[in-house]
Chain A
Amino acid sequence: DTAVSQTPKYLVTQMGNDKSIKCEQNLGHDTMYWYKQDSKKFLKIMFSYNNKELIINETVPNRFSPKSPDKAHLNLHINSLELGDSAVYFCASSQLAGGVTDTQYFGPGTRLTVL
């Protein structure tokens, strides 16, 4: 009964391909996020979704697009993959869109390798 799950765990693909990473949370949270952790291990937020509305977009290229079919899912679609997209991508969720008790719970990560 993993709280935040991601699939796949590993993804190896060629430059120029289009790929998707799926995320699901069973915590009943209202907000979900995508983070990117690069080779230097810095975690940077990419997107957050609250009630199907995008509320943060941290200057991420428009090749990346989050899609939320329902409150429990936030998938990340990436078009025309580039070498620099290689990283570990983490999904997270929180109860509210901010707030003192708004703790974010993270998934296990998806390691994307672009060849």
Chain B
Amino acid sequence: DAKTTQPTSMDCAEGRAANLPCNHSTISGNEYVYWYRQIHSQGPQYIIHGLKNNETNEMASLIITEDRKSSTLILPHATLRDTAVYYCIVRVATDNDMRFGAGTRLTVKP
């Protein structure tokens, strides 16, 4: 009952922008889009979240389409340390249940 679809893997050149897509065509009006990442052998790390407006923080930008059926996480200048599995999650804000799918394995190459 996955709510999101992400590519299995992506490569990005160091210093370039990494654009990670996520499809969530069944998203409900009260569900937010969250992004986490998991670097090898570490716990998941929060990146960013949004409802319908685009969001930006010190780590990344989140672009959500107007119909909210898809979104893109942008790492503006990828570094080797950004190599990780990136998870796109949709959830109601009041829901404690974070259901992680398979994610996208991003490899940043020199």
Whether B43 contacts A98 by the Cβ 8 Å rule is no
Chain B residue nearest to A94 in the complex (CB) = B96
Chain A: interface residue count, which band?
Answer: 20 to 34
| Interface size class of chain B, counting residues whose CB lies under 8 Å from the partner chain | 20 to 34
Contact B102 A90 (CB under 8 A): no
3 residue pairs, one from A and one from B, having the closest CB atoms: A106-B43, A43-B100, A98-B94
User: Which residue of chain A has its CB nearest to the CB of B87?
Assistant: A43
| Chain B residues in 8 Å Cβ range of A99 | 93-94
Q: Across the two chains, which residue of chain B brings its CB closest to A111?
A: B41
Contacts of B94 in A (CB 8 A): 98-99
**Binary contact track A8-37/B, C-beta < 8 Å → 1, others 0:** 000000000000000000000001010100
* Complex interface: chain A residues within 8 A of B16 (CB): none
Q: When the two chains form their complex, are residues A45 and B99 in contact, meaning their CB atoms are under 8 A apart?
A: yes
Complex interface bits, A54-66 against B, C-beta within 8 A gives 1, otherwise 0? 0110100000000
Determine if B43 and A108 form an interchain contact, defined as CB atoms under 8 angstroms apart: yes
Could you tell me if A106 and B44 are in contact, using CB atoms closer than 8 angstroms? yes
Residue contact A103 to B93, C-beta cutoff 8 Å: no
Q: Which of B31-87 contact A (CB under 8 A)?
A: 32, 41-46, 49, 51, 85, 87
Q: A98 with B41: in contact, given A41-B102, A42-B101, A104-B98 (CB under 8 Å)?
A: no
A98's contact among B42, B49, B85, B95, by CB below 8 Å, is which?
B95
Q: Is residue B97 within 8 Å, beta carbon to beta carbon, of the partner chain?
A: yes
Whether A106 lies near B45 (C-beta < 8 A) is yes
